[in-house]
Structure 1
Amino acid sequence: MNNSAALEKRKTIENPLKRKKGFEYYIKRDFLLYLMLCIPVAYIVLFKYAPMYGIQIAFKDYNIFQGAGKSPWNDFATFKQIFSSLQFYQVVRNTLVLNGLDLIVGFPAPILLALLINELIWTKFKKVSQTILYLPHFLSWVIIGGIVAQLLSPTGMINSLITHMGGEPLPFLTNKYAWVATYAFIGVWQNAGWGTILYLAAMTGIDRQLYEAADVDGSGRLGKIWYVTLPGIRPTIVILLILQLGNIMAINFDRPFNVQNNLVMDFGDVISTYVYRVGIQSANFSVGAAVGLFQSVICLIFLLTSNFISRKLGDNGIW
């Protein structure tokens, strides 16, 4: 027994894979990787977690001179104020409508573009098309807002062309229903190309033997798309859908702010612009923080619910 125990100990010493390696070993081995990891971790801590200290002003009568810590608690008076405001419910409705429209129109667009580009045979044309499609993603919404005003305003280029041809100007930016459609179209134009990259990357991971088997079975292009390509990118579609559902109440400030105008505020005023106008311009910081906290909680509920439903249906969720 002693000889066998000594032999086993000797094997453990001789085999470095069986040795228990401590924290210092991995730090020394992957020093540069841990050093690079410090940058994103520091960003998240400084700009994501540290500002959460200010959430408390949503529950206080915030005074800028007293600070967040010394301002008096207000017994949820801020939340009672926003929940009794009709304008708050209007901006929540507008946020849900615009994000829901983006989900219905904007979510399938990159999938369709990726399928079309993937079917192109001419490689050079495929690369040029992909580059042209995702270039709008790098334009700021300030620039896009200026382009939209120049093209779609009542005196813009498109309406001037329509008038020159004998037609009536179209109210792209002045009628609230037409503005909603314009808003959705601009979002697809700006984001669809960038989303296409994710799906094209997922398509490269599909086993080519599946396409060869589909050829043997006599499947055409549509058959291979339906039975091979779409099931191959299904996990990517599910994850991105869960993330978008989780952001159903979160809306970017730049896009509605730069596209809206006073004529369409019934549909154009959303949570982000409401927080900016009430919380910052009117210096009512408690209301702005309360609305932002409400928005984050609803987004978290949607994210958890969509992830739970996805896992129950047999798909892989985010976790």
Structure 2
Amino acid sequence: MQNSVEVDYRKPVISQKSSAFEYIKKHYFLYLMLAPALILTLIFKYGPMYGAIIAFKDFSPIRGILGSDWVGFYNFEKFLSSPNFTDIFMNTLKLSLFGLLLGFPVPILLALMLNQVRRAGVKKNIQLMLYAPNFISVVVVVGMLFIFLSPTGPINQLFSLITNEPIMFMSKPEYFRWIYILSDIWTGAGWASIIYVAALANVDPELHNAANLDGANLLQRIRHIDLPTIRPIMAIVFILAAGSIMSIGFEKAYLMQTATNLPTAEIIPTYVYKIGLQKGDYAYSSAVGLFNSVINVVLLVTVNFVVKKLNEGEGLY
């Protein structure tokens, strides 16, 4: 006869809520350390979301947010049906997309090359040169661009050997996008490579020694040892970059704008600034900004889903 096991159903069952409460109670000091950052995030990130209501209203500063008339999606329809919507939207998308495609591989290549430098002193000097542009003010960077690319600047001095007249780099619309993207890569690629350099520093040297004994060359070691190490970080960085693909920095684009390059230089952030702060149409500018944020969220979710499918379940969340 088989022995039966008696179960005492009167014994209290510890729920997940009680166990979580006990864990928080036990480690309360860690949560107290987290509290200031959480409070600041709630105040300065989630609190201002209340103001997004004005995108659905005919906002009047005198009547306030709640006192203004509700207009629904009128401001969004106004933007989508405006004559310059297509140009502004495509300028923003192209500038962000080309910047991502051209700029994303550069920090990875820099990190892989820095990882091959064995002399510590030389490596530090190279890193210093690569990281320094990141700390230059955007205003200074744009000023340098206007000086170097001016009709009498050093770049045009070189082109004068080939052409008889200077090239108006900062005035012609066809040059704006490339100048913006290449200068962005120059200022940010070195700093962005830090995370990859740190990940490659954790690679066991014995793996490279074993690969050398097996006859693997440099490219084979990079492909089979270094790249698999930084692949999860590459996926996360790519998802975050793609999720903010419509959020281009306002300052640099606005400073680089001239009266003649606006056909390609006018993007959503600069348009919001001009409509909202310069013309005082806060409701319409809020609708444009909210539209931009929704596009970013959709891109973030979509890219994360695709990367998880292609990267064996490794994604941002």
Question: With structure 2 as the length reference, what TM-score do the two structures score?
Answer: 0.88
Alignment of 1:219-298 (within 5 A): 219-298=216-295
Alignment of 1:105-184 (within 5 A): 105-160=102-157, 162-163=159-160, 168-184=165-181
The separation in 2 between residues aligned to 1:124 and 1:179, in whole angstroms, is: 38
| Structure 1 residue 136 displacement after superposition | 1.2
The separation in 2 between residues aligned to 1:166 and 1:64, in whole angstroms, is: 56
**Distance change (3 Å), C-alpha of 1:172 and 1:122:** farther
**Structure 2 contact 24–31 (Cα < 8 Å) conserved:** no
Q: Does 1:93 align with 2:90?
A: yes
CA RMSD of aligned residues (A): 1.9
Q: Structure 1 stretch 160-169 or stretch 133-142: which is displaced more?
A: 160-169
SS at match of 1:38: helix
Correspondent of 1:195 among 192, 195, 210: 192
**Distance change (3 Å), C-alpha of 1:22 and 1:206:** closer
| Structure 1 residue 43 displacement after superposition | 2.4
Alignment of 1:35-46 (within 5 A): 35-46=32-43
Give CA deviations for 1:207-258 in whole Å, capped at 9, x if unaligned: 3232122112111111111111111111111111111111111111112112
Correspondent of 1:70 among 56, 67, 72: 67
Question: With structure 1 as the length reference, what TM-score do the two structures score?
Answer: 0.88
* Residue of structure 2 equivalent to 1:11: none
* Residue of structure 1 equivalent to 2:316: 318
The separation in 2 between residues aligned to 1:248 and 1:165, in whole angstroms, is: 37
**Distance change (3 Å), C-alpha of 1:166 and 1:267:** closer
Of Structure 1 and Structure 2, the greater helix share is in 1
1:228 maps to a residue whose letter is I
The separation in 2 between residues aligned to 1:126 and 1:254, in whole angstroms, is: 33
The separation in 2 between residues aligned to 1:205 and 1:114, in whole angstroms, is: 13
The separation in 2 between residues aligned to 1:174 and 1:72, in whole angstroms, is: 43
**Structure 2 contact 75–284 (Cα < 8 Å) conserved:** yes
* Residue of structure 2 equivalent to 1:84: 81
SS at match of 1:266: helix
Q: Does 1:54 align with 2:54?
A: no
Q: Does 1:217 align with 2:214?
A: yes
The separation in 2 between residues aligned to 1:76 and 1:62, in whole angstroms, is: 13
Q: Structure 1 stretch 276-285 or stretch 177-186: which is displaced more?
A: 177-186
| Structure 1 residue 42 displacement after superposition | 2.6
* Residue of structure 1 equivalent to 2:3: none
Give CA deviations for 1:95-115 in whole Å, capped at 9, x if unaligned: 110001111111111111111
2:315 maps to a residue whose letter is G
The separation in 2 between residues aligned to 1:175 and 1:105, in whole angstroms, is: 22
| Structure 1 residue 260 displacement after superposition | 2.2
SS at match of 1:205: coil
**Identical aligned residues as a percent:** 38
**Structure 1 contact 238–315 (Cα < 8 Å) conserved:** no
Give CA deviations for 1:263-283 in whole Å, capped at 9, x if unaligned: 111111101000000111110
**Structure 1 contact 235–315 (Cα < 8 Å) conserved:** no
The separation in 2 between residues aligned to 1:167 and 1:195, in whole angstroms, is: 40
SS at match of 2:69: coil
SS at match of 1:61: strand
Give CA deviations for 1:67-90 in whole Å, capped at 9, x if unaligned: 111111013211111111021221
The separation in 1 between residues aligned to 2:41 and 2:153, in whole angstroms, is: 43
1:318 maps to a residue whose letter is L
SS at match of 1:72: strand
Q: Does 1:185 align with 2:182?
A: yes
**Structure 1 contact 176–263 (Cα < 8 Å) conserved:** yes
The separation in 1 between residues aligned to 2:73 and 2:79, in whole angstroms, is: 10
| Structure 1 residue 166 displacement after superposition | 7.5
The separation in 1 between residues aligned to 2:240 and 2:164, in whole angstroms, is: 43
**Structure 2 contact 56–72 (Cα < 8 Å) conserved:** yes
**Distance change (3 Å), C-alpha of 1:67 and 1:269:** same
